Amino acid sequence: MMILRTTAEMRRQSRAWHRADETVGFVPTMGYLHAGHMSLVREAAERCDRVVVSIFVNPTQFGPNEDLAAYPRDFARDEALCREAGVDAVFYPAVGEMYAADHSTWVVEESLTRTLCGASRPGHFRGVTTVVAKLFHAVEPEVAVFGRKDAQQALVIERMARDLDFAVEIVVAPLVREPDGLAMSSRNKYLDADQRQRALAISRGLALAVRKYERGERDAAALCATVADGIRAAGGEIDYVELVSRADLCPAARAEGPVLLAVAARFGATRLIDNVFLG
Amino acid sequence: MMILRTTAEMRRQSRAWHRADETVGFVPTMGYLHAGHMSLVREAAERCDRVVVSIFVNPTQFGPNEDLAAYPRDFARDEALCREAGVDAVFYPAVGEMYAADHSTWVVEESLTRTLCGASRPGHFRGVTTVVAKLFHAVEPEVAVFGRKDAQQALVIERMARDLDFAVEIVVAPLVREPDGLAMSSRNKYLDADQRQRALAISRGLALAVRKYERGERDAAALCATVADGIRAAGGEIDYVELVSRADLCPAARAEGPVLLAVAARFGATRLIDNVFLG
């Protein structure tokens, strides 16, 4: 397995594969890999001859008061997991390789980013779309795989790829949960045992909302309250619990047609997100 | 010579050339081609095996009160000029091919676009960087050639290509002038005979400023006044006459180091730009 640290090296390798008529599947990550990431790697491997995983804790998608410095990193462990999974190359650039001191060009999506994490984390998606555009240019993949845990991110990236004519197919893979239901996330590491237990209120609340939906509940306020009440009862602090249209991520008053019920909540200092698709 | 109307066709053709180990040089234009454009085509042909010219009057780089509807178009003439010049393919997409109705992703450069045309045409460069990013993804060129008449545009595109890791070399070709000195522009067509004559004040003012610079004048105010006085005397309306640093396009008080003396002025309803590099 290759470890490539510059955009030039990465592109050279990807082009060598393309010249040999091999396709490249790409999984962008911030590292500290878990089973959710590894499911994306399997999706990429099923679709393409070669798999590239990028590991880059992207500073521009963190707000000034967010957890950039604390974000968990363990490259040796990530490297071992990638090797074991048959990844062909890890793209592992330094911050200085990705951003010049006078970097001044951004990719911005201005519609789907107005709600949910776009509203609660100003500037976050601008960092995401910019770094993903750069990574696409470095890796030049046929396929890029994103996880449905970050449902809004996946939709924003699909929109970016369409709007800017990136020659890459965006695949969105299912959310992967711990056995007790907690959505897998590198940030789960921040939780102490008590917080970890209380954080189950998020996935349990979503599961309860799904059951109510299946029994006919369509009112957004009722579905959101189901989730929010459980989180508050467990001592969580809610960033948002929202029902939005899957097409444009605008708030929906009722769960008619394809909608997304999305949550962001804090347990202690740890912000967790989760979601379910309905309809 | 091929005429390709969709991004998919364009990319397929470019990739066929690349598979045959041929390089692609690209000249993006808004059509109504003149000798300035054709000098860019020659630059591209000298550097690459194949030359692609795009002809697309990009609506997103025009402000609401600008000349989008009036912008001159003559595809038959442009086609003949390209054929004559040995262009391999003209990429000629419709607006609907380039922009979905719910297009919402933009490429923005936030430093070099603060002055000059970036200040006097809000939103203009956002349209330029976005469409050029899209065109780069359609054509996938090794080299793209821009004209120095749009000096700020060329610097902004160089910055964008660097910041977003586009695998394309940006070449900036010299400004081409009419025999009497007027900078070539598709918009010169708007000028009546009287305006055409009076508009020479722009290039004459810049030439006079160059002579003063060569005789030792370094004061920005004096150099700018040389240009502005001539334009006003000829009945032109000044958008800006500015001396800026070539590195960051910030206003310079003195012409020390590499600087750009740039002008935008109106004769009648026609906005013309011109510039000289000093130092």
Question: pLDDT tens across B136-171, in order?
Answer: 999 999 999 999 999 999 999 999 999 999 999 999
Whether the Cβ atoms of residue A105 and residue B107 lie closer than 8 Å to each other: yes
Of B143, B173, B203, the last residue of a domain is: B173
Tokens for B167, please give them: 């695998």
* Number of C-beta neighbours around residue B211 at 10 A: 10
| φ/ψ (deg, to 5) at B183 | -65, 135
Q: Calculate mean pLDDT across residues B174-199.
A: 97
Of B149, B173, B197, the last residue of a domain is: B173
Residue A28: CATH number of its domain: 3.40.50.620
Does the residue A178 lie in any domain? Answer: no
Q: Which of A108, A159, A165 sits opposite B137 (nearest CB)?
A: A165
A103 counts as catalytic: no
Mean pLDDT score of chain A, rounded to an integer? 98
Confidence bin at B192 (pLDDT 50/70/90) = very high
Cβ–Cβ below 8 Å for A109 and B105: yes
Cβ–Cβ below 8 Å for B159 and A105: yes
Same domain, B78 and B136: yes
In Å, how far from its chain's centre is CA A17?
A: 27
The pLDDT profile of chain A, 279 residues, written as one tens digit per residue, is: 999 999 999 999 999 999 999 999 999 999 999 999 999 999 999 999 999 999 999 999 999 999 999 999 999 999 999 999 999 999 999 999 999 999 999 999 999 999 999 999 999 999 999 999 999 999 999 999 999 999 999 999 999 999 999 999 999 999 999 999 999 999 999 999 999 999 999 999 999 999 999 999 999 999 999 999 999 999 999 999 999 999 999 999 999 999 999 999 999 999 999 999 999
Does the residue B257 lie in any domain? Answer: yes
**pLDDT tens-place string over residues B74-114:** 999 999 999 999 999 999 999 999 999 999 999 999 999 99
- d(C-alpha A141, C-alpha A143), whole Å: 5
Same domain, A40 and A124: yes
- pLDDT of the residue at A212: 98
Same domain, A204 and A149: no
**pLDDT tens-place string over residues A201-221:** 999 999 999 999 999 999 999
Whether the Cβ atoms of residue B232 and residue B264 lie closer than 8 Å to each other: no
Instruction: Give the pairing of strands B24-29 and B143-147.
Output: parallel
Q: Calculate mean pLDDT across residues B182-194.
A: 97
- pLDDT of the residue at B160: 98
- pLDDT of the residue at A240: 98
Same domain, B167 and B190: no
Tokens for B56, please give them: 């697309």
Taking CA atoms, A126 is separated from A78, A94, A109, B107, B137, in Å, by 26, 19, 7, 10, 20
Cβ–Cβ below 8 Å for A130 and B11: no
Does the residue B239 lie in any domain? Answer: yes
Question: What beta strand segments (E) does A88-208 contain?
Answer: 89-91, 105-109, 143-147, 169-173
B248 neighbourhood in chain A, CB within 8 Å: 102
Does the ipTM surpass 0.85?
yes
Q: Which of B100, B159, B248 sits opposite A162 (nearest CB)?
A: B100
Of B117, B138, B173, the last residue of a domain is: B173
Cβ–Cβ below 8 Å for A163 and B100: yes
Same domain, B23 and B158: yes
Q: Per the structure, how many domains does chain A have?
A: 2
- pLDDT of the residue at A99: 98
Question: Helix (H, G, I), strand (E, B), or coil: what is residue A46?
Answer: helix
Minimal-distance CA residue of chain A relative to B100:
A163
- d(C-alpha A12, C-alpha B270), whole Å: 47
- d(C-alpha B72, C-alpha B117), whole Å: 21
Residue A204: CATH number of its domain: 3.30.1300.10
Does the residue A179 lie in any domain? Answer: no
DSSP code string of B80-147: HHHHHTT-SEEE---HHHH--TT--EEEEE-STTSSHHHHHSTTHHHHHHHHHHHHHHHH--SEEEEE
Minimal-distance CA residue of chain A relative to B160:
A105
Same domain, A166 and A262: no
Amino acid at A125: F
Domain that holds residue B104: 2-173
Q: pTM of the predicted model, to two decimals?
A: 0.97
- d(C-alpha B26, C-alpha B28), whole Å: 6
Of B109, B119, B107, the residue nearest B156 (C-alpha): B109
* Number of C-beta neighbours around residue B24 at 10 A: 24
* Number of C-beta neighbours around residue A199 at 10 A: 28
